[in-house]
């Protein structure tokens, strides 16, 4: 029985305590009205303020960093971070790879979600698109076609194309989510070999999407996107079957 021990403070499960600690740190940020870019107290100050050891604190800190809540700069300090979904991507990539060992279920679900997002929002994006942004999209298509003609893979240009497509919406969360899906897809892509794809055909599909967007034909744009996703789904199914 700790007589003078001040801190046997309501022992919950370890897991709950860690989560509480993370919440405390986030509350502290909100309470002090820190903005993205502002510095947090040093590790030692936080240890004292929150009444935990440095290691325990650091474990929570690392989690918050992975969640994109804070940014840790070695040797300088910790700061409230701008958006960052890297960690989510890693988690999803892991799940997707795990599922590819079986039936690729999670990978296919991911394509479904991405399709709903892209097909569902392409219309709104087309309402807001500027001539300049449209030109940027075509540029991506051209780059894909060039790479396809040269027989080189063009994952970057492909990713670029889809980013630009939804840039007009000015929705960072959406772009982040799509970015995550892209990262997962890219991983699956290299994982499954996928060398046998028809580059020219893929480039042509994107050209079709561009044409529909440029013409302002929302229904056709959504439809062309859907065809694109059907191709992706087929490739995943093939990879799992093999």
Partner DNA sequence: CGGTAGCGGATGTCCCATGTCCCCTGAGCG
Partner DNA sequence: CGCTCAGGGGACATGGGACATCCGCTACCG
* Cα 134 to Cα 139: distance, rounded to the nearest angstrom: 9
Query: According to CB under 8 A, which one of 43, 97, 214, 240 is a site residue for its own copies?
Result: 97
State which residue, 39 or 116, has the beta carbon closest to DNA: 39
In the complex, the smallest distance separating the C-beta of residue 14 from DNA, rounded to whole angstroms, is: 4
Query: Packing angle between helix 155-166 and helix 172-191, nearest 10 degrees?
Result: 160
192 and 221 Cβ atoms separated by less than 8 Å:
no
Among 75, 131, 150, 151, binds DNA (CB under 7 A): 75
Q: Which range touches DNA (CB under 7 A), out of 9-17, 94-102, 114-122, 174-182?
A: 9-17
Characterize 37-53 residue by residue with b for buried, 16 or more Cβ atoms within 10 angstroms of its Cβ, and e for exposed: eeebbeeeebbeebebe
CA–CA separation, 157 and 176 (whole Å): 17
Q: Which residues ranging from 183 to 242 are in contact with its own copies (CB under 8 A)?
A: none
What is the separation of C-alpha 150 from the centre of its chain, rounded to a whole number of angstroms?
Answer: 30
Q: Report the alpha-carbon angle 131-134-136, nearest 5.
A: 115
175, 167 contact by CB (below 8 A): yes
11 makes contact, choosing from DNA, its own copies, none, with CB < 5 to 8 Å by partner type, with DNA
Specify the residue, 26 or 204, whose C-beta has the smaller distance to its own copies. Answer: 26
HSE of 61, CA atoms in CB hemisphere, 13 A? 22
Binding site for DNA (CB under 7 A): 8, 11, 13-15, 17-18, 40, 42-44, 47, 51-59, 61, 72-78
Binding site for its own copies (CB under 8 A): 13-15, 18-19, 22-23, 26, 29-30, 33, 36, 55, 58-60, 62-63, 66-69, 72, 74, 80, 83, 86-88, 90-91, 94-95, 97-98, 101, 106, 109-110, 112-113, 116-117, 119-121, 169, 171-174, 177
């Amino acid at each position: 029985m700790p007589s003078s021990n001040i801190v046997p403070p309501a022992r919950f499960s370890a897991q709950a305590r860690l989560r509480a600690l993370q919440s405390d740190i986030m509350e502290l940020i909100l309470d002090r009205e820190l903005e993205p870019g502002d510095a947090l107290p040093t590790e030692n100050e936080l240890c004292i303020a929150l009444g935990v050891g440095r290691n325990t604190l650091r474990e929570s800190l690392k989690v918050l960093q992975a969640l994109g809540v804070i940014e840790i700069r070695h040797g300088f300090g910790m700061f409230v971070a701008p958006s960052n979904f890297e960690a989510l991507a890693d988690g999803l990539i892991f799940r997707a790879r795990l599922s590819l060992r079986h039936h690729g279920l999670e990978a296919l679900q991911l394509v479904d979600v991405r399709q709903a997002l892209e097909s569902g929002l392409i219309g709104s994006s087309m309402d807001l698109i500027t001539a300049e942004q449209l030109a940027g999209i075509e540029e991506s298509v051209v780059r894909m076609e060039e790479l396809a003609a040269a027989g080189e893979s063009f994952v970057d240009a492909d990713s670029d194309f889809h980013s630009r497509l939804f840039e007009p919406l000015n929705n960072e969360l959406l772009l982040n989510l799509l970015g995550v899906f892209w990262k997962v897809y890219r991983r699956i892509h290299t994982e499954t070999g996928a060398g046998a794809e028809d580059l020219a055909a893929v480039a042509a599909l994107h050209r079709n999407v561009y044409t529909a967007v440029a013409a302002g034909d929302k229904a056709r744009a959504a439809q062309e996107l859907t065809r694109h996703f059907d191709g992706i789904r087929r490739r995943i199914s093939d990879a799992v079957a093999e």
